[in-house]
Amino acid sequence: MHVGVLHVRLHVPQANSLKEKRQVVRSILDRARQRYRVAAAEVEEQDIHRIAVLGFAAVSQSRHHAEEIVQKILDGLRLHPAARLIEHELDVF
Q: Could you tell me if 53 and 8 are in contact, meaning their C-beta atoms sit under 8 angstroms apart? A: yes
**pLDDT band at residue 3, thresholds of 50, 70 and 90?**
very high
Q: What is the pLDDT of residue 45?
A: 84
Q: How far is CA 15 from CA 9, 22, 34, 55, 75, in A?
A: 15, 9, 24, 20, 22
Q: What is the pLDDT of residue 76?
A: 93
Q: What is the pLDDT of residue 46?
A: 84
Cα R_g (the chain), whole angstroms = 13
Helix or strand or coil: residue 5? strand
**Which domains, from first to last, does the chain contain?**
2-92 (3.30.70.1120)
Q: Quick: pLDDT tens for 12-43.
A: 999 999 999 999 999 999 999 999 999 999 99
pTM above 0.75, yes or no: yes
Residue 5 β-bridge partners? 57, 91
The mean pLDDT of the chain is 94
